[in-house]
Structures are given as structure tokens and as C-alpha cells.
Amino acid sequence: MTANKKDAHLLGRRALVQWTLATGVALGLPRWKIFEVLEGSAGKAYADDASCAPCNRSVHIVAGTGGLAWFNLLWPHNDVAAARNDGFSWHAIGEERLATGTHKPLTMGPETPWQDLPGARQVTALLGGTNETHTRTPDSTVSVAMNTDLFAACAAVQTASPTLTPVIGVGDIPYRNAPGAPRIARVGGADDIVALFNSAASRAGGLLSRSGNPELFQAQYSAWLSLRRASRSPAYRSGMAAGTTSSRLLGTNLADALRVTDADLAHYGVNGTSRNQNMELARTLIVTAKAFKLGLTNSVIVPAFNDDPHGAFNNMASLRRTTMELGQSLQAFYEDLAAAQDPTCSGSLADNTVISIHGDTPKTPLERDNWPDGTPGNSNWIYVLGAGLLKTGWFGGVMRDGSVRGWDPTSGEDRGDRNSASTSAAAAAAVLYAVTKGDLRRVQDFYRGAALSGVITNPTI
């Protein structure tokens, strides 16, 4: 083994890639030249890793006003489901099962999405935050540190992979402060996301609507980029990446590319008789998947339900349908991402997308009658599909006797002497870690809490 290859082995793929990119930038080398050098010295696999976007995309679902309770019916607390108590707010008694291959136990029900994913790619459920009944803009589960918002921190990280609209927020979702965070584009719903990208230049009568004009514009812009690259100035790279996407899309009427179809709705499990809450979530996820495929944005923050479902268990047929449609919409969203090649990296969009689920109160898992808002120990929790970068299963949880077990971010072990509030920042930081593709140094730009070694995988210092 040569010295170079031995060094590459010792450093690890991620460390070598990061060192090479940093050195190349410091020397003023163009990005293509860095990839060429890396491929020649360490092999194509290393060059492919270097050419990947340095961050994952993200979808953050905010189920306010008690709407988080619906997600408990997809991933219940392990001990609560195992109790099979018909007084608890678990609807599928006897139908629950444990996921296989997860780092910690994770219970699933018949409507739970993503069940065919390997254990290392399953959901991570993190006790963290406090009960905030009732609000659509919860704070405790979306704060990485004091005055530092998780969603804004994720968007700041994602600026390393430029898009036309860095982050989109639907409705009155929370988006607060974080160093380097871009401005959010706020829209009212799925149709407004479509309108956001509907180029006036491409519509009937516009300059680029005439045959040949869009191609000519893109060719001219590409020629200009070639001249700019000759300057070898790193200052232009971010703008060129966004501009390339702009030139390709300016002549495209994105209303057609993003529009929700009847086939989409059927795939996502909703129809004209579905609850409005299920329909709106499905439509937003459909448009989000299409926007990701086109490289229009890196992050979408989505509201869900906001329905305070106190009486849900009074109508089990309706409850089962709502839960089934929710699970199918999440499953279809992942399938749409999995079917699309990631234009910025090897693998599919699903391989490089993080999904997190937050809310104000998940309601108690221990009482279905009027499904009370209060939670044992005033606890709260989040669910994360962490793109293989987080250990999976439940970290902490509510027990059948009403006690609450927290968890230690450093060891990952459940702890009876820890409460939900004590792991608020760590739970949010775990989501941020997944978005950074495992870059602990970048996480530490925002988070100063306990080490996350107990919940993360493959850290890069």
C-alpha cells in the first residue's frame, strides 16, 4: 500500500475529502480540478464523495395545536404499546411489532410508513422539549440553543448547496434566528409553492415562450460561466451554481412541472372524501418532492393537522382512516424521492433527505378518553428520519406506569433521572447533525451542549 493510500485509509474517506477540498480552495483551484486530482490520487469513489453536496435536504413537519398526537399512532412509545391496555391512546392493540435491526427498540403499527427500510435507516424518536399546549409555533423542540432556531440553522448549513429558494415555509410555521440563515419564502399552501416558481418569462407571450429562446438563453449563460471559471475566483462559485439552475429553469413553466395531479393524490392515499388536514399535508408533500427533483429548494417547513384531536377515539373508523392516510402520504413521499436520482450526489433524493416531525403537544399516550393535552412529566418528543446518520429507535420514553425516562446524549442510554426538558437542545442538534451529513464541526457552530456520541453515527470532527 502506498503512503498516500495508507494516509487516506487512516484519515477516513470523509476526512480526506474535506481536507482535499479545503486545500484546493486555499490554493485557488477550480472545483473540477480538485475532483480530478482526488480521483487520480485516491480513486473515483473519493472523487464522487467530494462532488456531492455537503449537506442533506430537509423537510420539517410542524404538527401544532395537538396535531403531533396523530404521529404517536405511527410510532408509539414502546412500553405503552406493549401494555396492550385499551384505555391507553394506542389504537392498534395486538397489531404492533418491533422494527428489526434498529439500534434501540422501535414499535410500529399497521399504518406506520417506511417499514421496509433497513434498521439503520429507520426512525429515531427522541424525548426532548416540553409540552406547549396550544400553539402552531412550538419552540422547545425546535431550538438548538438559546436564540438559535433549528430550522434556520439547517437552512444556514444548506446554503453550501445553493438553490433558487433556499427555504420555504408553508403557513405560520416557526422560523426564527440562526447565524447565516437565509430569508425564508413564506407561502400559504401547496398551490402557492407552484406559483412561487412559475416564471413570467416562460408563460404565453413571454420572451422565453418562443421556440428556441430558452435554449439560446441557457447557451449564452453557459458560455458566460465558462469565461467566469477562467478567473478561478472562488467568490463566484455559489452564484454560478444558483445561476446555472436559474438559466435552466427560467424558460420552463414550472406550473406544469409542479402541479398536483389526480394520480399523485391516489398515490398519496387521499381523495375528495379525505379530511382537509390529510389532503393539505399530502398536496404539500407532493409539490415538495417535485421541487426537490428540480433542485428548486433545499428545505420545506410544513404544517400538519393543527386539529387538537380530543375526540379522535370516539370514532375509531375515522381515526383509522386518518392514520392510514397519514402513513400512506409519508410512504409515498419517500417513494417519490427514492425514484429520483439526486442531481447533486450519487444515490437517490431519499438517500439525501432528512425528515423531522415536531409539535406543541403529543397529548398523553396513557388515556384515550378525551385524549388529554397534558403529558407525563410535561414531556414532548420528536421523530426523525435521519438519512442513516442517527442511531434509530426510541431514546427515552413514557412508561405504562406514567413514569418518564430521559436519555443521555453522550451514551445514548435511557436515564430515569433525566427529564424531557434536559434533552431539548440535544434532540434538535441531532436533526441538525443529520442535515450536515455528519459534520460535527458545523453542528458546533450552533450547538454547545453535551456530546452527541450516543445518538449519532459516522461523525466527522
Domain boundaries, the chain: 3-51, 57-198+253-443, 200-250
Distance (Å, rounded) from C-alpha 294 to C-alpha 249?
Answer: 8
Comparing 20 with 286, which gets the higher pLDDT?
286
Question: What mean pLDDT is predicted for residues 71-95?
Answer: 98
**pTM, entire model:** 0.82
> Which amino acid is present at 37?
V
Region 364-381: what's the mean pLDDT? 98
User: What is the arithmetic mean of pLDDT over 173-199?
Assistant: 92
Q: Compute the distance between CA of residue 181 and CA of residue 169 in angstroms, rounded to an integer.
A: 14
Q: Percentage of residues in the chain with pLDDT exceeding 90?
A: 72
Beta bridge partners of 384: 124, 356
- Is a pLDDT exceeding 80 seen at residue 239? no
User: How confident is the model over 94-120, as a mean pLDDT?
Assistant: 98
For residue 44, what pLDDT is reported? 56
pLDDT band for position 196 (cuts 50, 70, 90): confident
User: What confidence score (pLDDT) does residue 40 get?
Assistant: 61
Cell of 435: 442535515
Residue 224: predicted pLDDT? 44
- Give the mean model confidence (pLDDT) for residues 11-27: 52
Q: At 363, give phi and psi (nearest 5°).
A: 60, 165
pLDDT at 102: 98
- pLDDT at residue number 61: 98
Pairing state between β 167-170 and 299-303:
parallel
Whole-angstrom Cα distance, residue 116 to residue 122? Answer: 9
Tell me the C-alpha distance between 227 and 131, whole Å: 56
User: With 60 as the cut, is the pLDDT of residue 278 above it?
Assistant: yes
Q: How confident is the model at residue 459 (pLDDT cuts 50, 70, 90)?
A: confident
Return mean pLDDT, the chain: 85
Where does the pLDDT of residue 306 fall: very low under 50, low under 70, confident under 90, or very high at 90 and above?
very high
pLDDT of residue 449: 96
Percent of the chain, pLDDT > 70?
A: 77
Pairing of strands 379-385, 123-130: antiparallel
pLDDT-based confidence at residue 6 (cuts at 50, 70, 90): very low
Model confidence at 2: pLDDT above 60: no
C-alpha cell at 427: 434532540
Confidence label for 117 from pLDDT (cuts 50, 70 and 90): very high
pLDDT on residue 345? 83
How much is the pLDDT for 23? 56
**Higher pLDDT, residue 4 or 134:** 134
More confident residue, 30 or 190: 190
- The answer, yes or no, to whether residue 353 has pLDDT greater than 80, is yes
User: What secondary structure does DSSP assign to 295-327, as a single string?
Assistant: T--SEEEEE------TTGGG-HHHHHHHHHHHH
SS3 (DSSP) at 135? coil
Q: Would you state the pLDDT for residue 256?
A: 81
> How far is residue 216 CA from its own chain's centroid?
36
pLDDT for residue 162 = 87
Q: Is the pLDDT of residue 223 over 60?
A: no
pLDDT of 11: 42
pLDDT for res 4: 47
Distance in angstroms (rounded) separating the CA atoms of residues 113 and 168: 24
Per-residue confidence (pLDDT) for residue 118, from 0 to 100: 98
